[in-house]
Amino acid sequence: CFPSCFLPCVLPSLFSSLLVSFLASSPPCFLPSLFPSFLDSLLVSFLSSFSPCFPLCFLPCFLLCFPSLFPSWCGHCKKLAPEFDRAATRLKGSVRLAKVDCTTHSETCGRFGVSGYPTLKIFRYGRDSAPYDGPRTAEGIYQYMKKQTGPDSVLLRTKEDLQAFVNNYDASIVGVFSGADSSRLAEFLNAAGLLREQFRFAHSTDLQLAEDHGIHSECVLLFRPPRLSNTFEDSLVVFKDYLTIGSLRRFIRDHIYGLCPHMTLENRDRLRVRDLLTAYYDLDYHHNVRGSNYWRNRVMKVASKYGGRGLTYSVANKKDFLSELEDDFGLGTSDGGELPFVTIRTRLGHKYTMREEFTRDGQSLERFLDDYFAGRLKRYVKSEPVPERNTADVKMVVAESFDDVVNDPDKDVLIQFYSPSCPHCKKLEPVYRELAHTLYYDPKIVIAKMNAVENDVPLGYDVQGFPTIYFAPVGKKDEPVRYEGGRELRDFLNFLKREASHSLVLSGSKDEL
């Protein structure tokens, strides 16, 4: 189970050959007995210090590494750092977490295809296994990586095992089969292997475990969390259709969250693939389940009247989303008092807020929903003020002026999304200004930029790092082209010559470059 590819670059060839032969013949869990913990740590530190061989991790019975690849200036990286460190402390002894500063170790980051920051990858047995696409909080990282170390699906032997498994903070998916040779069991385990990072799986080969739930044949049982039990829906959903990985995935997706799930920092991205209403208030399902369900029950009572209209519902802890409420919806932390904030975020990125106080009888929420479905609500857009004068060669764009400038149907537009603190953006600035000056007399093209920190980025533009540059050509405003070329003037001009809807005008004359 031990990779040999790293050894020649740090060890003399003879010792490398001997050690590779020895390790290759050793059982998977040899490390705890071979190395005392202090020697293990020294060896890891020694080997990891060689950037061509980084990363490498030693874990009991499981070799897994979770490096965060980042440059020291990155704001997102600085935000992640304390969460990453707290997760590392909690995971000590089971999963090793490591960091690489890409400004110092650019060769290492380049070999692993790092193009944005922070980049997180999972390594198994010293090799790049998969990108990490889980939550970025300490709790989320901890839960995600703990799931990496256990079995894909837990074997349940008794009804007591079943009860203990489903009596959990999270939902549970339990397959009940007629025997170990069941073809459905094999497919279930394959699905569990693919979906284990998102959901909890268990299985049994004793059909009697499902009898208490009125089931006497092979099936999959989805148990919603006991803390979210309510009178508006069943806590148990049964899957009896033909079992494939795809059909089970769809079943879980359609039923696991129920009418009004608890949205967290860890599951918000999965919930927001649909139009979503969220009520934010002081909830705490760890210490006050009944109190946390007070407002949730009122949301569900209203939601049950608007079923089938394409809107989903959730509740969330206001304290977990304070910065998002302020930055994305313009809601101050003191707004609303003890009453819930209510927002709607559509899958297209449109945002709405309920300005009326949430009444205990639910009438204000019903009025809000009536206005939403009737199209009477005004969208909230985070935007800097529209510039009074915009006469520079590079046109400044804000969210409020994006449609007028970038989506002008008569002009090709190159738009740069930047952050004021990004050094790469500052380095690009003189080249970008020169480009705009070169094309200043071309009436059919605009060179523009937008502060993506202070303005909402429109749908269709994927901005994960800075600078990010897109080209919105005439006739294809809904299909912007991401610029992936070099950062010199001629690189940009060659790109625009190829993509523009017209021949470029340089310095006042037509020029075919």
Active-site residue list: 74, 77, 422, 425
What are the backbone dihedrals phi and psi of residue 415, each rounded to the nearest 5 degrees, phi first?
-120, 125
Q: How far apart are CA 507 and CA 174, in angstroms?
A: 69
Query: Quick check: 464 and 483 in contact, CB under 8 A?
Result: no
Alpha helices in 179-336 (DSSP H): 183-195, 245-255, 268-271, 289-303, 322-329
Q: How far apart are CA 413 and CA 108, in angstroms?
A: 36
Query: Quick check: 289 and 357 in contact, CB under 8 A?
Result: no
HSE-up (13 A, CA, CB side) for residue 248: 25
Q: Is the dihedral of CA 155, 156, 157, 161 positive or negative?
A: positive
SS3 assignment, position 223: strand
Q: What angle do CA 23, 25, 26 make, to 5 degrees?
A: 65
SS3 assignment, position 174: strand
Q: How far apart are CA 188 and CA 391, in angstroms?
A: 62
Taking CA atoms, 204 is separated from 45, 155, 181, 218, in Å, by 43, 6, 12, 10
Q: What angle do CA 4, 6, 11 make, to 5 degrees?
A: 95
Element (H, E) at 70: strand 64-70
Pairing type for strands 468-472 and 412-418 reads antiparallel
The token pair at 111 is 């070999």
**Tokens 């050094």 — which residue?**
423
Query: Quick check: 140 and 265 in contact, CB under 8 A?
Result: yes
Residue 385 corresponds to which amino acid? Answer: P
Alpha helices in 11-157 (DSSP H): 13-24, 31-34, 37-48, 75-91, 106-111, 138-149
DSSP 404-437: HHTT-TT-EEEEEEE-TT-HHHHHHHHHHHHHHH
Q: What angle do CA 487, 492, 496 make, to 5 degrees?
A: 160
The token pair at 6 is 């790293």
Q: How far apart are CA 394 and CA 437, in angstroms?
A: 8
Q: How far apart are CA 254 and CA 333, in angstroms?
A: 33
Task: Give me the helix-helix angle, 138-149 and 75-91, nearest 10°.
Answer: 50
**Tokens 């869990």 — which residue?**
29
